[in-house]
A and B are shown apart, each in its own frame.
Chain A
Amino acid sequence: MKKLAVIALALVMALGLAACGSKKAWPDGDITIICPFSAGGAMDTSARLTAEFLAKQLGVNVEVSNVTGGGNWTGYAQVINAKGDGYTLGFSNYPGQVGGYLNPNNKISYTYKSFTNVADIVHDPGIIVVLLDSPYQTLNDLIEAGKKEAMTISTGGAAGSDDDVLVRLLNAKYGTKFVPGGNKDDKDAKNALFGKAVAAQACNVSNYWNKWDGTGEDYVRVLAVFDEKRNDLMPTIPTAKEQGIDLTSSSDRGMVAPPTLDKDVLNKLVDALKKVQEDPEFQKKAASYGMGINMLFGEDFEKYIQGVEDTLNGMKKDLGWE
């Protein structure tokens, strides 16, 4: 009994001393995630979903602040310049962020290395769709036709967006004459497809996945998923690789932090995110938004971003970025 009391006393003292010596352990207050995209979009939804379940793990409030403008760089710059105390985090998308700084016109001096790259969270593979009454039944039908004559494929973003890059990669690798549509966003690209102003649309699983859960309209045929394996959200659709086209493409959304982020905080954050990923409720909710979750941390994440950078660098001439 006496022994126990001594141990207890020692423990209390040790904890007390630890508290005196340093600041209170992270997290001890509200955390803000800066989302450089406006409220309501796919990026915002991903950030808010992550915030909700991160809060559950950490036991503090996690808020999302939509800092928009400046081609998303207003928000990115705020993350980079914030204190590395772990109370300011950010959300970023790829290849968007990389394309932003690689384009010399933008005169942006940051790179992905300006951030602490915490985790890749959402992985949204590229797809190519045509209308149901289109003559193209498979990806190869479309590619064969594209080799013969110019065809416009609408893209949910300008030069350098993942949809645009997918179309350019097809041209570079298979000698097709596809013209990327340069549409403003996915909605614009969809409108062009449905209005038959283009032959096909390059987009992502999340744009048409709900065709499979019964809520979507059955107007389109997905020709291929540009990923290593079939997608859980549209399991009947073959990958491009299965059809002999060796290309992958995706839009990824991940968590970033200021470059000065404290190492201990980073470790705790990564642990918390790993638990979030395993939370069945999180998985269920993410699936209901059409979000594929595939978390990558640390080096794996940076390796992925470097791959995106290499791809874009290889296309600089084609993109007019030289």
Chain B
Amino acid sequence: MSMWEGISQAFAHLFTLEAGLGLLIGVVGGMIIGALPGLSATMGIALLIPVTYGMDQTAAILMMAAIYTSAVYGGSISAILIHTPGTPSSAATCLDGYPMTQKGEALHAIGLSTTSSVIGGIISAIALLLIAPPLARLSLNFQAPEYFLIAFFGLTLIGSLASGNMLKGLLAGAIGLTFGLIGLSPEVYARFTFGNFQLLGGIDLIPAMIGLFSISQVMILGEERGKHSSNVKVEAEIKGRFLPPAKEFVGLIPLILECSVVGVFIGILPGAGGDIASWVGLNLAKNQSKHKELFGTGIPEGVAAPEAANNAVTGGALIPLLTLGIPGSSTAAVMLGGLTIHGLNPGFELFSKYAGVTYAVIIGFLVANILMGLVGWAAGRYLTKVSKVPIPILLPCIAMLSIIGAYATKQNMFAVYICVIFGLLGFVMRKFGIPTAPVVLALILGPMADEQIYQGSMQALGFKKTFFQYVLSRPICIVLLGLIVLGLFSPLISALISKGYKKKYGDVGEAAEDI
């Protein structure tokens, strides 16, 4: 089926009341989730999946995609207004966003963030529309050896995710790989189940993720409240013009576009998500600037660059998700679960049999980014109220939602135990400064590599080759091997970037840990 046929079918799926409502609820709900310092896009979607059970396919997936982009944008509002990134993707935005608020330019900063987020999001949606269909057509060329190498490639990126301390990143990765071993192996051998059949299916990803990100966040925030006794007090007047002046905007366009393209690329990489993109974006802005010394004092570039980059990640992360079933970020990993629940299997079928639904989601995602801009323009300034929900009210609510969400994914108490155990694990890890994101990445990619190397070996037998010969006989594998070699050097580069930044600007407040 051609792309145009798919797009024309898409409108029938898109123009339904349910899809429209899903879109609107996704955009508004996502913004609120993003602005709340305790909730990230990942948690929002993980908690929402059980709610979408009864929904129509298009509406459900569209709502998740809308929440994703809108939450990443919403996070910037609390970053700008109260110096607390609403989601980890907005940590970089604090550096210049908050000083702008202090200077009395809060609305200007929110306007800049809105404009750049919308542009970043739209560019990523267009990239999704243009790259995903041809890649899906190639998806049949992706077989076990290719999937194995992609998983392996993702694992080599773990070091670079640890922003700063490679050793701690690798430690986190090793923890994730170990947990990933639990359960039935591809040869149907029970590993580390200790005779407990509950563990035969392995560690369930969604409860583990809710625990690692959400429960640990509740504990960290609760502990901090004891120390500081109150939130950052800002009663900055939110006034001024929302849309950036034309001259300033024109000057920023090249930077926004560049950051958007970079964001899309980072989104495509398995595992690397919005937080990395926002730091890379800020770095790009700084390197090109003629007045580097002004960064951190509240200049427009410091808001526009990270916000364009982190929203551009969203569409980028959906590209490998929809075509190959490989999540480009941890949020996309949760969405993978959502797709499967709705009977949509990533790959070739999404662009042939289910083309109507898929294109409806892609086009709806584009619309969601525009709608996000409009809602942000109309209501962004009021979202500050959301970000000031008192911690004693917020924390119990998040904890409760997390436990319900964990139970709902599997309808059994064991999932709740997994969630709580991983919550404690996440808390301890964060106390020691060990990032939790690599745990999730390894938990996804480890079993995938395990499964695919087994299948690949079985296929190799049919070609009368060893697995290694089989890999070398496939052109895409050769390209992937090249990327892996590159990936092994990326920690060095990325360590340099984040080291420079953390040193220069110090810590930027606690956000929910995320990729």
Contact = CB atoms under 8 A, between A and B. Distances in A.
Interface of A: 38-41, 65-75, 77-78, 103, 105-108, 149-152, 158-160, 179-184, 187-188, 191-192, 194-195, 197-199, 217, 319-320
A65 B348 contact: no
A40 B344 CA distance: 9
Contacts of A66: 410-411
Interface string B130-158: 00000000011111100000000000000
Interface residues of B, number: 46
B459 interface: yes
Given A38-B340, A158-B187, A195 B455 contact: no
B190 A105 contact: yes
Given A69-B204, A149-B464, A199-B462, A194 B198 contact: no
A319 B189 CA distance: 11
B403 interface: no
Contacts of B189: 105, 320
Contacts of B343: 40-41
A320 B187 contact: yes
B184 interface: yes
Contact of B342 (A40, A67, A108, A195): A40
B492 interface: no
A69 B414 contact: yes
B200 interface: yes
25 contacts: A40-B341, A41-B343, A65-B411, A68-B411, A69-B204, A70-B197, A70-B198, A74-B197, A74-B414, A78-B412, A150-B461, A150-B462, A151-B462, A159-B188, A179-B458, A179-B461, A180-B458, A181-B455, A182-B187, A183-B455, A188-B455, A191-B140, A195-B143, A197-B144, A320-B188
A39 B455 contact: no
B412 A69 contact: yes
A179 B411 contact: no
Nearest to B353: A217
Contacts of B186: 158, 182
A73 B197 contact: yes
B198 A69 contact: yes
Given A179-B458, A191-B347, A71 B464 contact: no
Contacts of B461: 150, 152, 179
B383 to A, nearest CB: 34
B211 to A, nearest CB: 15
Given A40-B340, A182-B455, A77 B143 contact: no
B18 interface: no
Interface string B321-357: 0000000000000000000111101011100110000
Nearest to B54: A39
B140 A70 contact: no
B510 interface: no
A187 B458 contact: no
B60 to A, nearest CB: 11
Contacts of B506: none
Interface in B107-141: 139-141
A200 B90 CA distance: 49
A265 B183 CA distance: 37
B462 A106 contact: no
Contacts of B197: 70-71, 73-74, 77, 106-108
B407 to A, nearest CB: 11
A194 B353 CA distance: 15
Contacts of B414: 69-70, 74
A194 B144 CA distance: 13
Contacts of A195: 140-143
Contact of A71 (B184, B187, B352, B451): B184
A43 B478 CA distance: 39
B199 interface: yes
B340 A68 contact: no
B240 interface: no
Contacts of A107: 190, 193, 195, 197
Nearest to B199: A70
Given A106-B190, A191-B143, A198 B462 contact: yes
A40, A106, A197: which has the most chain B beta carbons within 10 Å? A197
A73 B184 contact: no
A194 B143 CA distance: 10
Nearest to A66: B411
- Nearest 10 CB-CB pairs, A to B? A152-B462, A71-B200, A195-B140, A197-B143, A73-B197, A105-B190, A40-B343, A70-B198, A107-B195, A159-B188
Nearest to B53: A39
Interface in B375-431: 410-412, 414-415
A188 B143 CA distance: 9
Contacts of A74: 197-198, 201, 410, 412, 414
B459 A192 contact: yes
B454 A182 contact: yes
Interface in B457-474: 458-459, 461-464
Contacts of A38: 340-341
Nearest to A99: B188
B411 A192 contact: no
A152 B411 contact: no
Contact of A217 (B200, B352, B464): B352
B492 to A, nearest CB: 35
B212 to A, nearest CB: 18
A106 B200 contact: yes
Nearest to B342: A40
A319 B68 CA distance: 44
A320 B411 CA distance: 33
Contacts of A187: 345, 347, 349
Contacts of B342: 40
Given A151-B462, A152-B458, A198-B459, A70 B348 contact: no
A39 B408 CA distance: 12
Contact of A70 (B187, B201, B454, B463): B201
Contact of A197 (B341, B411, B459): B459
A103 B188 contact: yes
Contact of B348 (A103, A106, A158, A194): A194
Contacts of A150: 461-462, 464
A180 B454 CA distance: 11
Contacts of A78: 412
A105 B188 contact: yes
A166 B353 CA distance: 29
Nearest to B447: A184
Given A69-B410, A69-B414, 20 more contacts: A69-B198, A70-B199, A71-B184, A74-B414, A75-B412, A106-B184, A106-B190, A107-B193, A149-B464, A150-B462, A158-B187, A179-B462, A181-B458, A182-B186, A182-B458, A192-B455, A194-B348, A199-B462, A217-B353, A320-B189
Contacts of B411: 65-68
